[in-house]
């Protein structure tokens, strides 16, 4: 009996080119919902952001902050907690694009893992603030400690996000194909975000001034950049998905 030699196996590159990102724009809409929950929950209802003068405030002042409109703060933090995981699909999609279409599996995994790591601290931030609001009648010093801990989880751990930004930046600039997946401006945007977010890593040292967690470099610049990054991320990923599906 003649032996029929099997056809040549499909290479990883071919598999990557044939992969179609069906319904991938759901990830972009999911991230937009997370941003909406953040704005509604911790800016409008709570409001935890911005933290005017809170880094140097007394324990009594922080305790009074949680006493005022306590139920409204709890509801706002519930909305934030509910919306936080809706960012995961976007990070997963970017990781899949980097792995399958840009053929950079390690960078794709680093991007996704660093994104999840950053989200973990967002959960912990919300838990700290929610715990402070849960029993506002407790000792003001305990409430202040929970509040400060929430801000350290919110901002001081920026190194996880910086690693995520760096992996995206490297992937964009390493993409030498004739039709790059992500535009070069997205790589430069992530590079600038690395610079703007770095000061957040030292907020535990300062109670006042630009590097405090309510200061210009400790809060305003990193958080303005973060919200701009979410918008840029959604636009860049939506454009990439459209181009990839049209080419498939």
Q: What is the pLDDT of residues 63-84, one digit of tens each?
A: 999 999 999 999 999 999 999 9
Residue 10 lies in a domain: no
Q: What is the pTM of this model?
A: 0.88
1 has pLDDT over 60: no
Residue 44 lies in a domain: yes
- Kindly give, in sequence order, each residue whose CB lies less than 8 Å from that of residue 178, ignoring residues fewer than 6 positions away: none
Q: Looking at residues 188-196, what average pLDDT do you find?
A: 95
- For the chain, percent of residues with pLDDT exceeding 90: 85
Tokens at residue 127, please? 């838990």
Q: Looking at residues 47-71, what average pLDDT do you find?
A: 96
Residue 111 lies in a domain: yes
Mean pLDDT rounded to a whole number for the chain? 91
Residue 12 lies in a domain: no
What pLDDT is stored for residue 25 in this prediction?
Answer: 86
The answer to whether residues 126 and 80 touch, using CB atoms and an 8 Å cutoff, is yes
What pLDDT is stored for residue 158 in this prediction?
Answer: 93
Residue 3 lies in a domain: no
32 has pLDDT over 60: yes
Q: Looking at residues 96-124, what average pLDDT do you find?
A: 95
Each residue's pLDDT tens digit, 136-162: 999 999 999 999 999 999 999 999 999
Could you count the other beta carbons within 10 Å of the beta carbon of residue 1?
Answer: 3
What pLDDT is stored for residue 22 in this prediction?
Answer: 67
Q: Looking at residues 183-212, what average pLDDT do you find?
A: 96
Residue 15 lies in a domain: no
Higher pLDDT, 17 or 76: 76
Residue 14 lies in a domain: no
What pLDDT is stored for residue 248 in this prediction?
Answer: 63
Q: How far is CA 81 from the centre of its chain?
A: 14
What pLDDT is stored for residue 179 in this prediction?
Answer: 87
What pLDDT is stored for residue 178 in this prediction?
Answer: 87
Domains identified in the chain, total number: 1
23 has pLDDT over 50: yes
Q: Looking at residues 73-101, what average pLDDT do you find?
A: 96
* Cα 28 from Cα 30, distance rounded (Å): 5
CA distances 103 to 15, 91, 95, 109, Å, are 10, 17, 10, 11
Task: Please give the sequence-ordered ranges of beta strands (E in DSSP) within the chain, or none if there are none.
Answer: none
What pLDDT is stored for residue 243 in this prediction?
Answer: 85
Residue 9 lies in a domain: no
242 has pLDDT over 90: no
Q: How confident is the model at residue 15 (pLDDT cuts 50, 70, 90)?
A: very low
Domain of residue 187: give its range.
Answer: 21-171+178-247
């Amino acid at each position: 009996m003649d032996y029929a030699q099997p056809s040549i196996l499909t290479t990883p590159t071919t598999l990557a080119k044939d992969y179609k990102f069906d319904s991938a724009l759901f990830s972009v809409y999911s991230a937009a919902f997370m941003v909406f929950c953040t704005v509604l929950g911790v800016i409008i209802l709570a409001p935890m952001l911005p933290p005017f003068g809170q880094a140097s405030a007394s324990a009594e002042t922080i305790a009074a902050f949680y006493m005022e409109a306590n139920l409204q703060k709890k509801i706002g933090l519930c909305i934030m907690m509910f919306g936080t995981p809706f960012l995961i699909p976007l990070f997963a999609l970017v990781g899949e694009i980097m792995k399958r279409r840009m053929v950079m599996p390690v960078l794709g995994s680093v991007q996704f893992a660093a994104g999840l790591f950053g989200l973990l601290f967002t959960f912990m931030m919300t838990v700290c603030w929610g715990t402070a609001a849960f029993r506002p009648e407790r000792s003001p010093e305990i409430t202040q400690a929970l509040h400060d801990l929430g801000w350290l989880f919110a901002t001081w751990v920026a190194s996880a996000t910086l690693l995520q930004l760096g992996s995206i930046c490297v992937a964009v600039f390493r993409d030498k194909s004739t039709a790059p997946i992500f535009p070069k401006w997205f790589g430069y945007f992530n590079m600038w975000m690395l610079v703007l977010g770095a000061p957040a890593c030292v907020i535990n040292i300062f109670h006042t001034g630009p590097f405090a967690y309510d200061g210009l470099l400790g809060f305003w610049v990193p958080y303005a950049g973060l919200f701009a990054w979410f918008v840029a991320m959604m636009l860049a990923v939506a454009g990439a998905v459209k181009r990839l599906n049209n080419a498939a």
